[in-house]
């Protein structure tokens, strides 16, 4: 590989990362900024070889680089055909550099004069607010910036509102300069995103660039292809494995769905069903340790619980969710009599393991390091170093005779740079909102709005926990229509979760509930980005695919209720009741999936489906008598199904007795 060939190959792949939107010097500028951004925050997570970076520089540079990348990559209007920044883009970039640069340079003085501000402070704070809101609008749409603007107006004119929601009111100068600080746009959300989220996103991008993504798709398919509904089960297993390194449902859908959705269609699944199973499974990646969704890192900081503790208690619910999607996919295949893929279309699992077993080492290593007490950021720093060393070594060992060591090292260096760039660009979905969400959080703390919301939740629900849970679900669903799951979770965490805590449940259970419900926007029409991504691959109707994905994700809405009413989160450790709750929940999943599909051993009648639903409900709550009654009811349904199967000819066992659902 010549030097010219190296850079031309790199720039071609880099252009693909940007969606072909930027070329030439502007594209190169974005590449340099993205690589520096990713490399800088990976470096700061490790030992201070060249000295520690100051807080002002660390936080100010994060927003500066993030919004500059947004204005280079995203146009003023969505769908614009411009391939280079406009004059407005350059003015906004200048505003970002000046205002956030001012925060970096003047950080110590800004801290010293907290509560007092100069005219320059006010101008810079105003400029920073404008560029943050515009950066968020370009990436996320208008809803979140409009909500932030509403909060700002409330902070200034809250004294003019009814007494139940009013406060003393503040001047624009006081509000904007107070939020131009670590209590606002440079606060908790930014710190967590820079400390944890970006690192894990970069780690996932590097693993994918070095071939782990392909391994995590092919291995599940090889393991499940010989079973009924094998391609769908491969989608579930693959999404779980990809979820361990991705933390994004939409990215997971695209990465695994490109392979699994066509296989499901070829196996016999209807296009809209295939397009729905993948996003339903990919949503589970947001709950799957060790990475999970970005919101979990914020949760750990907000409720002061170690991330590793959340990771441990989240494992069983995540597995339960994946099992529910797999069960629904299995009964769908059984009902439609989808055949098992022939052996000629399957790969051998051992062969794939031989090719990519080394990709499992970093996953095990990062989990081990965190469980031994190392901070997530430091753990992922050392894991990235270990992974790069292992990946390069594996390439050197497996190279053919025609490929020189230099060629392998060049290709690895190219993939390293591409992984850093891809990680930085992937992180923009979260990093572009941190300033705006910081404004909202700052207003909540400045005005006492959090206490007002907690009181309002208690009054609106009459202190009844079931109504509180329903309110959390509805609010999450509505917010999810115009926000990322992370921003929706943050708002729910500061406005609704305290109300749930006031009703007597633990902070962990309350935050886990709103975190799970905030993921509904991935698969809930009318806005369901992961389902739309699946529909585009399956070439199916987006809305029909979205509603089908909602069906396959049914337990997304059931499992959070278990956080409240059962010990599935192990609040007192792995006790007998906790184990009982886990076992009965998995049995209930099978019953629910059979009821939803209208098929157990053969087509079910209305009475049998009703029995399955009632049995599942009785099994979900860890009461011994209720569980026993549920098991007896399911046993009766199973016996009825067996008798029915024995009475009918083999060819008739999958024919409908009544209209299929």
Q: Per residue in 275-317, pLDDT tens?
A: 999 888 888 888 888 777 778 888 988 898 998 899 899 999 9
Q: What is the C-alpha to C-alpha distance for residues 626 and 588, in angstroms, rounded to an integer?
A: 12
Q: Residue 169: is the preceding peptide bond cis (ω within 30°)?
A: no
- The residues, any chain, with a CB within 8 Å of residue 505's CB and separated by 6 or more, are 465, 564
Nearest to 142 by CA among 430, 519, 433: 433
- The pLDDT of residue 629: 94
Q: Per residue in 365-421, pLDDT tens?
A: 988 898 888 888 899 999 999 999 999 999 999 888 888 899 899 989 999 999 999
pLDDT-derived band of residue 449, with 50, 70 and 90 as boundaries?
Answer: confident
Q: Do 307 and 289 contact (CB within 8 A), yes or no?
A: no
pLDDT-derived band of residue 244, with 50, 70 and 90 as boundaries?
Answer: low
CA dihedral angle for residue 372, residue 378, residue 379, residue 382, rounded to 10 degrees: -130
DSSP per residue, 90-153: HHHHHHHHHHHHHHHHTHHHHHHTTT---HHHHHHHHHHHHHHHHHHHHHH-SHHHHHHHHHHH
φ, ψ of residue 571 to 5 degrees: the values are -60, -25
Q: What is the C-alpha to C-alpha distance for residues 60 and 347, in angstroms, rounded to an integer?
A: 50
Is residue 482 scored above 50 in pLDDT? yes
Q: Do 252 and 322 contact (CB within 8 A), yes or no?
A: no
Residue 301, judged by CB atoms within 10 A of its CB (0-12, 13-18, 19+), counts as middle
Task: Indicate yes or no: pTM above 0.95.
Answer: no
- The residues, any chain, with a CB within 8 Å of residue 5's CB and separated by 6 or more, are none
The domain limits of the chain are: 577-661
The sign of the CA dihedral 99, 103, 104, 105 is positive
% of the chain residues with pLDDT over 70: 94
Q: List Cβ<8 Å contacts ≥24 apart for 445-451.
A: 445/183, 446/155, 446/170, 446/175, 446/178, 446/179, 446/183, 447/154, 447/155, 447/158, 447/167, 448/167, 449/151, 449/154, 449/167, 449/495, 450/494, 450/495, 450/498
Q: What is the C-alpha to C-alpha distance for residues 442 and 447, in angstroms, rounded to an integer?
A: 9
pLDDT-derived band of residue 594, with 50, 70 and 90 as boundaries?
Answer: very high
Q: Which helix (H) or strand (E) holds 272?
A: helix 271-283
Q: Per residue in 643-659, pLDDT tens?
A: 998 887 755 544 444 43
Q: Per residue in 22-81, pLDDT tens?
A: 777 888 899 999 999 999 999 999 887 777 889 999 999 999 999 999 999 988 876 666
φ, ψ of residue 603 to 5 degrees: the values are -60, 140
- The pLDDT of residue 122: 95
Helices 542-552 & 271-283, crossing angle to 10 degrees?
50
Q: What mean pLDDT, rounded, does the chain reach? A: 87
Question: Between residues 564 and 78, which one has the greater pLDDT?
Answer: 564
Nearest to 55 by CA among 3, 101, 107: 107
Q: What is the C-alpha to C-alpha distance for residues 73 and 82, in angstroms, rounded to an integer?
A: 10
pLDDT-derived band of residue 559, with 50, 70 and 90 as boundaries?
Answer: very high
Q: How far is the CA of 378 from the CAs of 220, 268, 382, 384, 511, in angstroms?
A: 30, 46, 6, 10, 25
Is residue 218 scored above 70 in pLDDT? yes
Beta bridge partners of 573: 571
Reduced to 3 states (helix: H, G, I; strand: E, B; else coil), residue 339 is coil
Q: Residue 526: is the preceding peptide bond cis (ω within 30°)?
A: yes
């Amino acid at each position: 590989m010549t030097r010219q060939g190296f850079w031309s190959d790199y720039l071609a792949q880099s252009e693909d990362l940007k969606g072909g939107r930027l070329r030439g010097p502007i594209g190169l500028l974005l590449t340099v900024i993205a690589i520096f951004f990713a490399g800088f925050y990976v470096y700061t997570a490790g030992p201070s070889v060249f000295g520690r970076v100051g807080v002002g520089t660390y936080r100010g540079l994060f927003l500066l680089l993030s919004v500059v990348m947004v204005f280079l990559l995203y146009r003023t209007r969505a769908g614009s055909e411009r391939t280079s920044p406009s004059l407005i883009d350059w003015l906004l970039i200048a505003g970002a550099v000046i205002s956030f640069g001012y925060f970096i340079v003047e950080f110590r003085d800004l801290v010293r004069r907290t509560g007092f501000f100069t005219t320059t402070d006010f101008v810079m704070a105003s400029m920073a607010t404008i560029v943050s809101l515009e950066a968020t609008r370009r990436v996320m749409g208008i809803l979140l910036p409009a909500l932030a603007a509403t909060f700002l107006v409330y902070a200034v004119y809250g004294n003019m509102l009814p007494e139940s929601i009013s406060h003393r009111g503040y001047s624009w100068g006081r509000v904007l300069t107070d939020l131009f600080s670590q209590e606002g746009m440079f606060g908790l959300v930014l710190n967590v995103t820079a400390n944890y989220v970006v690192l894990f996103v970069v780690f996932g991008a590097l693993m994918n660039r070095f071939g782990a993504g392909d391994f995590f798709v092919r291995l599940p398919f090889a393991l499940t292809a010989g079973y009924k509904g094998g391609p769908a089960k491969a989608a579930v297993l693959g999404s779980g494995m990809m979820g361990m390194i991705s933390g994004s449902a939409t990215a997971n859908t695209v990465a695994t769905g490109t392979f699994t959705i066509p296989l499901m269609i070829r196996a016999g699944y209807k296009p809209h069903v295939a397009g729905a199973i993948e996003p339903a499974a990919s949503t589970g990646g947001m709950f799957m340790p060790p990475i999970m969704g970005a919101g979990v890192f914020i949760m750990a900081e907000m409720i002061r619980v170690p991330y590793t503790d959340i990771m441990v208690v989240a494992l069983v619910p995540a597995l339960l969710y994946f099992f529910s999607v797999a069960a629904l996919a299995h009964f769908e295949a059984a009902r439609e009599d989808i055949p098992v893929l022939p052996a000629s279309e399957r790969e051998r699992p051992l062969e794939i393991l031989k090719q990519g077993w080394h990709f499992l080492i970093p996953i095990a290593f990062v989990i081990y390091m965190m469980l031994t007490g190392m901070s997530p950021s430091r753990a992922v720093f050392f894991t990235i170093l270990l992974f790069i060393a292992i990946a390069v070594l594996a390439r050197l060992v497996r190279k053919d005779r025609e490929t020189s060591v230099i060629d392998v090292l060049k290709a690895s260096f190219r993939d390293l740079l591409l992984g850093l760039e891809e990680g930085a660009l992937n992180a923009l979905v979260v990093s572009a909102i941190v300033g705006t969400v910081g404004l909202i959080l700052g207003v909540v703390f400045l005005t006492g709005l959090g206490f007002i919301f907690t009181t309002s939740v208690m009054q609106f629900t009459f202190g009844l926990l079931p109504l509180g849970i329903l309110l959390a679900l509805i609010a999450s669903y509505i917010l999810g229509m115009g926000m990322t799951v992370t921003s929706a979770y943050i708002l729910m965490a500061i406005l609704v979760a305290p109300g749930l805590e006031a009703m007597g449940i633990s902070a962990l259970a309350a935050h886990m509930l709103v975190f799970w419900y905030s993921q509904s926007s991935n698969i809930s029409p009318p806005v369901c980005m992961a389902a739309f991504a699946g529909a585009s691959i399956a070439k199916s109707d987006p809305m029909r695919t979205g509603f089908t994905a909602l069906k396959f994700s049914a337990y997304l809405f059931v499992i959070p209720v278990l956080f409240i009413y059962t010990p599935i989160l192990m609040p007192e450790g792995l006790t007998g009741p906790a184990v009982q709750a886990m076992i009965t929940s998995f049995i209930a999943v099978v019953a629910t999936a059979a009821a939803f599909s209208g098929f157990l051993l053969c087509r079910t009648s209305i009475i049998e489906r009703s029995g399955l639903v009632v049995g599942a409900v009785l099994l979900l709550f860890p009461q011994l008598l209720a569980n026993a009654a549920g098991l007896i009811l399911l046993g009766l349904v199973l016996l009825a199904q067996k008798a029915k199967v024995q009475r009918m000819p083999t060819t008739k066992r999958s024919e409908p007795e009544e209209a299929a659902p």
